[in-house]
Structure 1
């Protein structure tokens, strides 16, 4: 896991292949490419969708459509936001456990020293850079964080990690940088530049705190929360702080990305990362992410 010692390490050099990947995915007009992809993915044509998926599978060998409730999709968006067959994501219901809200590859994770954490070694940012609510950010000083990267081939829906209540979604409009490891090694404070939302999870414990920060990216920039009537994307022009009142049991679906992206989980200092939570490891929704106090909604 990453700690403050990373600040003294030299920033990693990128290989020629990584440099090319970065140029192709980030130096294009990101906003217009993202808007185009949003339009294209909504075209309802089974034939076009089958062709698009076939091309996609050439670059994503780990795309597992056999896990979905259906393998027939009318649009590419329907494929991106597919649901899984029941029982494929067993849920740890232990009351002291915080489960992973999504399928992901674990990125930077570990303790937050003061208000400082990392997107990659040598690339720090602060809680206040990412979370505009200063009072909320202060709750996570010296706490824990886990970065969860949803690859484009993965299941894109996210779920409640505990029994909780959400009263507000704080939406921050921004850029659409790619959030893959190559970009994280090159663009400082990348998560703090991108479109994102802040969801404080309320539950009945006076000391413990949990917050999810879904971060959009190139080809995504669209997040759908079931507690809100409309998706949040580059075309959204409403208020940043959007009130709602939604109750979730652990494992309930909270929403989905239109494509792969990232969720950063913040926990107060009363929690510990579960053994085995290290950068580069895969994790499924419902598996143990953090352990701490017994939680009640």
Structure 2
């Protein structure tokens, strides 16, 4: 058995995986990773990336550049132009990121699910009763980014971002093992709520959820990095126009994005539990009037 195979076998044991990724000082480890990943030392960089390859299926063949200044520079890498074309159909809401599709479906009044049989309330996730009303009985999809994936996320449609709310919280791992064991996990972790409207007027909400080792969420249109050290106002009114495919920001490790739409949108045929999806591929379609 290869070293990677042995590591994979060990980490797939649920009790051990949960212990190693959650029963540790999560916030302290995350702060440390935020500092460590930015060390611009060739030896530290090369050893870190080599270790990362052992634990994952990291593939840098699509990266825009082949040399990185630091582990952080590698985490937040750009891709070569043209590798993530966005579906041009204006009726389609595309995936904002590379991801594995998790729980998705209709919001039952204001209840949605992190996995089957594990509900949570939309108000607990968003913290805004008015926004909850916009998505009552709507649709949701959970997109999980693994550590080895491309970490940047993009506008899933032509839209105008009206408001961002940053919600302080914990940094639980968001892998399927933790989702089975930690109730309302997404409502406990740090997250940003991006309120937007489509060009046709319907609400669209993206909720990037941070996780262990995610030192921050970068939002370009605010020119801010949001993390545990964010102080002062946590609500940011804005009026930022985004064209489908525009880069909105990045995570500094793997994490999750929850996408919320009104009820008239339908899931596209490629949406299925556990399916891998790339940024730009279709998620929702608005039926013709």
TM-score scaled by length of structure 1: 0.91
Contact 1:201 1:209 in 2 (8 A): yes
Contact 2:142 2:257 in 1 (8 A): yes
The answer to whether the aligner puts 1:50 opposite 2:50 as a matched pair is: no
Q: Which has the larger displacement, 43-52 or 78-87?
A: 43-52
Residue 167 of structure 1 deviates from its aligned partner by: 2.4
Distance 1:97 1:16 in 2: 36
Task: Give the aligned partner of residue 214 of structure 1.
Answer: 208
Task: Give the aligned partner of residue 256 of structure 2.
Answer: 262
Ranges in structure 1 where 5+ consecutive residues have no aligned partner: 1-14
Residue 46 of structure 1 deviates from its aligned partner by: 2.2
User: For 1:231, what is the secondary structure of its paired residue?
Assistant: strand
Distance 2:71 2:35 in 1: 10
User: For 1:22, what is the secondary structure of its paired residue?
Assistant: helix
Corresponding residue to 2:143 among 148, 167, 175? 148
Ranges in structure 2 where 5+ consecutive residues have no aligned partner: 1-10
Task: Give the aligned partner of residue 3 of structure 2.
Answer: none
Residue 122 of structure 1 deviates from its aligned partner by: 1.7
Residue 57 of structure 1 deviates from its aligned partner by: 0.3
User: For 2:61, what is the secondary structure of its paired residue?
Assistant: helix
Distance 1:260 1:198 in 2: 18
Aligned-residue Cα RMSD (Å) equals 1.4
The answer to whether the aligner puts 1:108 opposite 2:103 as a matched pair is: yes
Q: Deviations over 1:101-137 (max 9, x none)?
A: 0000001011111111100122100111101111111
Contact 2:167 2:190 in 1 (8 A): yes
The answer to whether the aligner puts 1:233 opposite 2:240 as a matched pair is: no
**How many residues align structurally?**
278
Q: Deviations over 1:30-58 (max 9, x none)?
A: 00000000000011112211111011101
Distance 1:68 1:178 in 2: 26
User: For 1:202, what is the secondary structure of its paired residue?
Assistant: strand
Residue 71 of structure 1 deviates from its aligned partner by: 1.8
The answer to whether the aligner puts 1:71 opposite 2:66 as a matched pair is: yes
Distance 2:56 2:84 in 1: 21
Contact 2:140 2:259 in 1 (8 A): yes
Moved segments of 4+, more than 6 Å: none
User: For 1:67, what is the secondary structure of its paired residue?
Assistant: coil
